[in-house]
Structure 1
Amino acid sequence: MDSKQVQAIAPARWEARRWWSGIGAAEVMLLLVAAVWGGSYAVAKQATQQLPVMEFIALRFGLTFVVLLPALRPLFNAQWHQGLAVGGLLGANLLAIFVCETFGVSLTTASNAAFLISLCVALTPFVEWWLLGQRPARRIFWAAGLSAVGAAMLSATSPANIAVGWGDALMVLAAFLRAVMVCMTRRLAGHHTMPALTLTAVQSGVMALGAMAISLVASNGAWHMPPATASFWWGMAYLVLLCTVFAFFAQNHAASRSSPSRVSLLMGSEPVFGALIAVYGFGETVGVWGWAGGLLIVAAAWWVTMPQKLEARPRIP
């Protein structure tokens, strides 16, 4: 093969390598998290019908903390106080997100909830700009807008179906807090040396204690025993092991290795997975308008994982 043929083939191979270079283990983990969380809505809804919301949150994250107790070993060093401070701050933020989400879903429709929580995708570039002082690339704003439009189409058969109420307001607040969470995790990554699993354990402990305290105060000390049904505990196992242990570990791991906007855009594919699980797992129907919106979300998520621009091609003598 002469030099001219090599020069003709090399650029194509170089572009192919650059095309996939934006997708790494962190991005794959985030897509798996979106898939797992997409199936959590029905499970959590069934569980909260059998146990009060705050007690459900306390039980879920208390079990998660117990499962992750071995991961707390890195805390027992000279910087334990710093690790607890970071984990406590992020855990408090995460508790606020779950309180807003759980009560918000109970006060609005599932489709509205899926759309409004996905506003995290559109809000993150602005929160990143505000908290980190890093103005995202122009295409991040375009992709965020595209994802938000897609989420709106996915959650409604027509624009007229989107309504605003107290539940909607709580979901918007949860979306904003999610964006803050991603940016805070990124900002605090350099202030501690905790592994992602240790950070998840600390967050879970803070959430369990916080939810328990709120529940006891709100109910004047009353507490309910969790149901003994197999469906409840199978659902709890799914929520603890997959939706919490794996998902939060993956998110903490990826948030310190990828930009906040990219993390949120990939997590913005969650409504698509939720729709697929609802259709094939629970017999729900999604119209053409909704599937078109899902494709927009997927397109935006893939767009943001691609390298911003191709590096200079190496010259072959």
Structure 2
Amino acid sequence: MAEFFTLLKGGNKPSLYAALTNTFIAIMKGVAFFFTGNVAMFAETMHSIGDAANQFFVFIGSALSKKAPTSRFPNGFGRLLNIVLLGAVLIVGIMAYETIIEGWHQMTHPIEAEGFIISVIVLIIAIILETFVLYKAGKEILHEAGVKGGALAPLTTSFAHMDRAKPATKLVFMEDLVATAGGVLALVAVLIAHYTGFLAIEGAASIAIGLMMFYVVTRVFLENARGAIGETDEQMVNHIAHLLSDHADVRDIQKLEVIKEGEFLHVETKVEIDPTLTVVEADKLQDLLAALILSQPSVNDVLVSFDADDGQTHWKHLSTRPDSLPPLKTN
């Protein structure tokens, strides 16, 4: 149990903040729905419950994925995060289904809700809180991508760097983006229904929110299914290939694999070196290259092996280094 709580300290912080915030928002929306019977509020309640449960799972999964390898699981627990996320999206999927069904009932059999002022106040507070969480998640994306920006960058520039973010951070950002948009949509629907009497608009808003939730479910499921199987990080392959090729003692690269393991990267490479190097010199070079690769973003495990230079070029995949990655570390 002590190890469990120690691991929790290393969990993904944006997902924890988002989970706590969405728990408060879900309670607030649930109370508002109880007193008003507003269908758009019901949709938002389901959305916030799904987000809160999902983000708690993400936080715990990201923490447990950092557990050290054991004799039974020598490859570590990095992909545990992907498995947890695959299970977590099922919760959002169920909530999305219920949201769409309730919205359809409101469209086909409109019912006038009560407590207009309560609904408006609760939705405005929820939108403000969701925007705050979205901003924090966007800021974390920029941090993980090694990108600096102005005050509005977390809400603008972060979209261009989502692929460099950790799976948990990306999920929180996507969920709260949809949550913020859903809150605005629900608020607009409540206002239109109240001032025009067009009650079916609340059902339409509920269905739209449910479909947005399904979009998050689909995207997160596909990304983490690839991660659970073991997906190559093409950008980091190119990044590390540049790093190795720039080293004076590396003549060629025979093999280079960079596999995503949850929040971390596993790197395995085989390079060609000068065959006249002594065993001691080769050993020092191996340690140097391993340390160099380990210093790169998200790299947690490295295996470097050598072969004598045969005079032929094996690595022909080196391309222009992408701007979305931080500068090469050469220490």
Q: Same fold (TM over 0.5)?
A: no
Q: Which has the larger radius of gyration?
A: 2
Relative contact order higher in (CA < 8 Å, ≥ 6 apart): 1
Greater strand share, structure number: 2
Greater helix share, structure number: 1
Please give the TM-score of this superposition, normalised by the length of structure 2.
Answer: 0.30
Please give the TM-score of this superposition, normalised by the length of structure 1.
Answer: 0.31
